[in-house]
Amino acid sequence: MEALIAALGAVVGSDAILTGSAIQERYQSPWTRLGAPLAVLRPASTQAVADILRLASAAGVCVVPWGGRTGLVDGCLADDALALSLDRMAAVEAIDSAAGTITVQAGCVLQTASEAAAAHGLLLPLDLGARGSATIGGTIATNAGGNRVLRYGMMRDMVLGLEAVLADGTVIEAMSPLIKNNAGYDLKQLFIGSEGTLGIVTRAVLRLRPAPVSQDTAIVGVEHFSMLPRLLRRLERDLGGALSAFEVMWASFHDLVTTPPARGRPPLAGRYPFYVLIESLGGDVAGDATRFEAALAAALSDGEVADAAIARSTSQREAMWALRDDVAQTAREGPIIAFDISLPISAMEPYVAAVQVDLAARWPSLGAPAVFGHLGDGNLHLIVRLADTTPAVRRAVEDVVYGPLQALCGSISAEHGVGLQKRDFLHLSRGPAEIALMRRLKLALDPRGVLNPGKVLPPAPTLLGEQP
Ligand code: ZN
């Protein structure tokens, strides 16, 4: 190991290798477990990443890529492995206003890239709570979703090209900025959403959109779940494709974020079972506001909406989003388990009710789970608050939440990924042939299993430890 560390030091510079307590001091994260890495390497170039992987592969030492370390599925856990932080590769390399593209290094923080695009009148559509720390490389590796998927898609939909380094040090330069490029297999897709198990993303070309000039935001109260899909379809139709957010908060979540010690206050006078944060982004300030108000007025008169508050200023808009983003309140009374699932809208209400009944039957002291999510994307976040999060209890709660999803054609992960936390449940969302093909891809690209070991795929004796 000492010889390997010395060789790696020659690659990245001895001051770019951290060991011992220096690792926690610099990199600790409240969101994700990091484990006890052998060392953290901070390469400054793609060539250095390639050299690190070549040396580590040859020595049979595992490598775990680190971005902003804000993931929620323990994808950064690096016990007995080298952690490879891309924080020195954080440059915005170029913005092409004519083509509408931005070229960035993987360690660039999402917010930095967004602000660089905005300075050119362009929008990088990806937006999520961790925007100030999540990196472009991490959001590609996890195919991040967030608040505007309804309008612009997930990270996968914004990646035109990327550069990635394979386990053996081969650099795959697939940086084509073309929107249309059907010349053979679309190799970049191998690395998007594979959580650093097939290669390490080092650079990317992302597609930008014209920055919207209008932003209309409201919170509405809804009496019955059955009104939510009707409201969603109405807004999609009446707003002419400008609807960018349809974020539903169950009363359980609304109550948490509008009562002290939370700083938020109820946006509506009455109390409703469901609240929806609605936003549209467009190109005509006066016309869009008129259309937005007319759509909500029609929804009110048709009974889909019981009450509505429209943001009249930036601070009112920010206060509305602050409610939706104040997820930390769910942990104010103790430990939580945060779930991130997908299922058809028609199945959501009975599913949530059944999970609630099941949890209450097994743990009678448990409060109702806090539920919210990107309903327009079929994505719910379900937060279970539990005093006891021992592995056995955690597993039992996971069984309750994940168990019904297979029959509903749902997914155990809508946007957070699999990491370590969900790999044992992968079979509920993916068939045996699909998982077998994932294993063949892993074996083909990383035959010695050195890249982010143990993540995504459950252990299989035919894969782990097998020699090429
Ligand atoms: Zn989310």
Mean pLDDT of 61-90: 96
Residue 177 and residue 101 in contact, taking contact as beta carbons nearer than 8 Å:
yes
**Among 327, 360, 386, where does a domain finish?**
327
Nearest to 448 by CA among 55, 78, 171: 55
By DSSP bridging, strand 39-41 and strand 82-85 are: parallel
Distances from the Cα of 230 to the Cαs of 99, 115, 271, 327, 375, in angstroms? 37, 35, 20, 27, 12
| Centre of ligand 1 from the C-alpha of residue 20, in Å | 34
Same-domain check for residues 121 and 135: yes
DSSP string of 277-311, one letter each residue? EEEEEES-HHHHHHHHHHHHHHHHHTTS-SEEEE-
Residue 234 near residue 361, CB atoms below 8 Å = no
Q: How confident is the model at residue 467 (pLDDT cuts 50, 70, 90)?
A: very low
| 127 plus 202 within the same structural domain | yes
Residues 153 and 122: their CA atoms lie apart, in Å, by 17
Question: Among the three residues 302, 327, 352, which one is the final residue of a domain in this structure?
Answer: 327
Q: Residue 461: which pLDDT band, with cuts at 50, 70 and 90?
A: low
The sign of the dihedral angle between the CA atoms of 216, 218, 223, 229 is: positive
Residues 323 and 363 in one domain: no
- Look at residues 300, 327, 354 and tell me which one is the last residue of a structural domain: 327
H or E stretch at 417: none
Q: Is the pLDDT of residue 285 over 80?
A: yes
Q: How many domains does the chain have?
A: 4
Q: From residue 334, how far is each of 12, 65, 70, 436 by CA, in Å?
A: 41, 30, 20, 39
Q: How far is the CA of 393 from the centre of ligand 1 (A)?
A: 24
Confidence band for 389, pLDDT divided at 50, 70 and 90: confident
* 245 and 193 co-located in one domain: no
* Ramachandran quadrant class, 68 (left: phi over 0; alpha: psi -120 to 50; beta: rest): alpha
pLDDT of residue 466: 44
What pLDDT does residue 349 have? 94
Report how far residue 378's alpha carbon sits from residue 344's, in angstroms, rounded to the nearest whole number.
6
Tell me if 466 is assigned to some domain: no
Judgement on whether residues 221 and 301 belong to the same structural domain of the protein = yes
The whole-chain average pLDDT of the chain stands at 94
CA of 425 to the centre of ligand 1 (A): 20
**Once rounded to an integer, what is the mean pLDDT over residues 396-410?**
96
**Ligand 1 centroid – CA 284 distance (Å):** 28
13 belongs to a structural domain = yes
Mean pLDDT of 290-299: 98
98 part of a folded domain: yes
Q: What is the pLDDT of residue 421?
A: 93
Domain that holds residue 30: 2-85
142: CA distance to ligand 1 center in Å?
A: 13
On whether both 167 and 226 belong to a single domain, the answer is: no
Pair 192, 228 in one domain: no
Q: What pLDDT is attached to residue 30? A: 78
Task: Write the pLDDT tens digit of every residue in 11-30.
Answer: 999 899 999 999 989 998 87
pLDDT surpasses 70 at 318: yes
In angstroms, what is the span from residue 445 Cα to ligand 1's centroid? 30
CA of 339 to the centre of ligand 1 (A): 10
Check pLDDT > 60 for residue 288: yes
Q: Please tell me whether residues 353 and 380 are part of one structural domain.
A: yes
252-277 residue pLDDT tens: 999 999 999 999 999 999 999 999 99
